[in-house]
Chains A and B, each alone.
Chain A
Amino acid sequence: MALGVVAGALLVLSASFVVLHLAIRNELYRYLDEDMRGQMTAIAEYAAASPGRERVSEFMPQFRTRTHQDFFQVWDGAGRTLARSDSSAGRDLPLLAAAVGVATYHDLVLPDGHHGRAVSQTFELAPDDARQRLTVVVAEEIENLEIFESRIHRLLLAIAIGTAIAMLLIARLAVLRGLGPVASFARSVESVNPEDPQARLETGPLPSELQPVAVSFSRLLDRLLDALAREKRYARNVAHELRNPLAEIRLLADVGAGRREPDACQATIREIGSTAAEMEQIVEALMALTRYEAGLESPQPEPVDLGAELRRHNRAMTAAADQNAVSISLDLPGEVWVYTDSALLQRLLANLFGNAIAHSPRGSTVRVTLSPDGDVRLTNPAPHLEATDLPRLGERFFRVSHGERGSHAGLGLSLAAAIAKVLRLRFALELRDPGCLVVSIRGFQTLAQSIGTAGPPGRNWP
């Protein structure tokens, strides 16, 4: 980066050097040309006014012999030399091309062999003047000017090189100082251990300009680490939860292989089938839970009659309830229309019904109530639950034991809680005396609320 800055600066300096060189040269020569033109005009006016007395060197000392740097020569219309500077030492300047009224500038070699610059112009005389017109050439040696110009160029070059070196050092220092916090941040990023769930980025030492970038990056990293942790947790949970049914299947097969009685063999095969089915349910539930927790499911709200949904689930779960000798009591108003995702709601209710039926004692009743505001409540006897179990009920692998039917209630409830979260509902678990688990879901948006009217929806809703 420092080299890039310096290369850019060198380019600018080089361009500046060329511009300065041209500007200085132009200015010097403009000054010189102006000076020579002024002298030429003065010589011409004097010569025009003093026919036969064109010895200008008498009052313009720079044209005297000693200087050998300034020269002039005056010709008449016939090309005869009327006057020349003493410094010419009798040698002629070249009669340069000249136009009337316009000064023309020339670079030339002077009679003394040095480099010079000259200006020439033709001046019309009065009609009665026998000389007809005057052509004046004024020349000046420019070797000293070239030496001066060369010195200025060397000085400029030295300044440019010095500036470039200084810029290189300053740029490098500035880049190092400026990027120091970034390098420190990079080291902080490198030191993050993805295996450490508490790993976080240090953004404190960064300058305020970089803080937004660092904070955004840190948040991104947090999300990535959370996702990674979620995947690892999922993999660990799946591995753990599948080991139990796998162990059961293998144990049934190992022990069943030693049995000769056909009935025992058939019973073993049935048990293996049931265990495999339970395992399939666990896998399916875990995958759904992961999708919900990862935010991969977005609700598609539509008008849904909650009362009808609860009645439908009651009918669907009758066989399971009969098998467990559990009855279901419904306390529902006629219709309660809400605006929610129908498919997710069905899954939520199926989990809650299934959970309540599976964990209720035989001969007990699961009570389902629905308020006109759309609050759903499922109450089931849970004598096996203790108050200390309640905070862990939502854990997906929390197990409860009740008589002969020990199983993990946590998975169904955590799945229900995850769906409720997706649907932006309030999901609550409560243990009431005597030993009743109450699961409540609140926060459904009633259809009246969603369309901004207070009136009850009619029967024409789909």
Chain B
Amino acid sequence: MRVLVVDDSERVRKTLASGLRAHGMAVDTAADGAEALSLINGLSLDLIVLDLMMPRMDGMQVLRALKSKSAKPRILVLSARDHFQDRVDALNLGADDYLVKPFAFEELLARLLALGRRSFAEASPDIACGRLVLDTATRLARVDDTVLALTPKEYALLELLVRRKGHVMNRTHIFEQLYESDSDVSDAVIEVLMSTLRAKLSRVGLPDLIETRRGFGYVVA
């Protein structure tokens, strides 16, 4: 899942990005609404964590700018403003959720995962794909009763492909979903991730879960 964190506090941006990355998310950051809008227009994002009080362009202005867009990421407003009218205004302007600062990171994470599930119209945090079951709440992958020991990036890759079952995804697209825009690594890392993931799937009897379509990309059939 690719997340954009928009907050004028550098400390919040960095810490939140670090925490979300540790859970396998690709995180980009923006210090104000204007920078956020330029990133939203240029990236394929799943979620936005949006502060309201920011210089230049505040969160409400970002929501207004995005309101008319038919396809847009899910937006969670994260603000110190706790008045009910602020929540009502933000939700009426298109925010999908509202969390007041200070907050528990686990709650933010849970809400983001819930928003992610809503994007894929999933009623349950469990996604089943044959013998494989992904628990998107705990971010665990099971095959029968065996829990796969996946790194956050491997889990994120597996979840991405399972959620888009039947859809071929090329390396670049996968990279954009798993890594932030200012990442130092090249998209060749996807090949490495794919090989380690396949090796772990092979050990539990699913060597062919992820197919390679030469010249097109990867797919969970």
Contacts and interface: CB of A to CB of B under 8 A. Distances in A.
A255 B103 contact: no
B12 interface: yes
A246 B104 CA distance: 11
Interface in A222-245: 239-241, 243-244
Given A254-B106, A258-B19, A406-B8, A247 B55 contact: no
Q: Chain B: interface secondary structure?
A: loop
Given A399-B53, A406-B31, A406-B55, A254 B19 contact: yes
Contacts of B56: 401
23 contacts: A240-B81, A243-B101, A244-B80, A244-B101, A247-B12, A247-B101, A247-B102, A248-B15, A249-B102, A250-B103, A250-B105, A251-B15, A251-B102, A252-B15, A254-B104, A254-B105, A255-B16, A258-B22, A271-B15, A399-B8, A400-B55, A401-B55, A406-B55
Contacts of A255: 15-16, 18-19, 22, 105
A49 B211 CA distance: 169
Q: Chain A: interface secondary structure?
A: helix
A275 interface: yes
B32 interface: yes
Contact of B82 (A243, A246, A404): A243
A312 interface: no
B100 A243 contact: yes
Given A250-B102, A258-B22, A406-B10, 16 more contacts: A241-B80, A243-B102, A247-B102, A251-B105, A254-B19, A254-B104, A255-B18, A258-B19, A271-B15, A399-B55, A400-B55, A401-B54, A404-B10, A406-B8, A406-B32, A406-B55
A404 B55 CA distance: 13
B9 A244 contact: yes
A248 B196 CA distance: 36
B82 A275 contact: no
A397 B55 CA distance: 11
Nearest to A278: B11
B134 to A, nearest CB: 21
Contacts of A405: 10
A406 B81 CA distance: 18
A389 B58 CA distance: 13
Contacts of A401: 8, 31-32, 54-56
Contact of A246 (B15, B53, B81, B102): B102
Interface in B1-60: 8-12, 15-16, 18-19, 22, 31-32, 53-56
B36 to A, nearest CB: 12
Contacts of B106: 254
Contact of A399 (B54, B81, B100): B54
A406 B9 CA distance: 6
Contacts of A247: 12, 80, 101-103
Interface string A271-292: 1000100000000000000000
Interface of B: 8-12, 15-16, 18-19, 22, 31-32, 53-56, 80-82, 100-106
B32 A240 contact: no
Contacts of A271: 11, 15
Nearest to B53: A399
A255 B31 CA distance: 20
B22 to A, nearest CB: 6
Nearest to B19: A255
Contacts of A241: 80
Contacts, number: 75
Contacts of B9: 244, 248, 406
A241 B19 CA distance: 23
Nearest to A402: B55
Nearest to B109: A254
Contacts of B11: 248, 252, 271, 275
Contacts of A406: 8-10, 31-32, 55
Most A CB contacts (10 A, CB to CB) among B9, B15, B54, B103 go to B15
B62 to A, nearest CB: 14
A255 to B, nearest CB: 4
Contacts of B55: 389, 399-401, 406
Most B CB contacts (10 A, CB to CB) among A239, A250, A389, A404 go to A250
B80 A243 contact: yes
A246 B80 CA distance: 10
Nearest to B18: A255
B20 to A, nearest CB: 9
Nearest to A243: B80
Contacts of B80: 240-241, 243-244, 247
A154 B89 CA distance: 82
A399 B10 CA distance: 13
Contacts of A397: 53
Nearest to A254: B105
B166 to A, nearest CB: 35
Nearest to A268: B15
A399 B100 CA distance: 19
A199 to B, nearest CB: 19
A250 to B, nearest CB: 5
Nearest to B20: A255
Nearest to B13: A406
Nearest to A392: B55
B102 to A, nearest CB: 4
A239 B82 contact: yes
Contacts of A249: 102
Most A CB contacts (10 A, CB to CB) among B55, B56, B104 go to B55
Interface string A381-398: 000000001000000010
Contacts of B19: 251, 254-255, 258
Most B CB contacts (10 A, CB to CB) among A248, A271, A389, A397 go to A248
Contacts of B10: 404-406
A244 B11 CA distance: 10
A244 B9 CA distance: 8
A80 to B, nearest CB: 120
Most B CB contacts (10 A, CB to CB) among A239, A249, A251 go to A251
A333 B89 CA distance: 55
A458 to B, nearest CB: 49
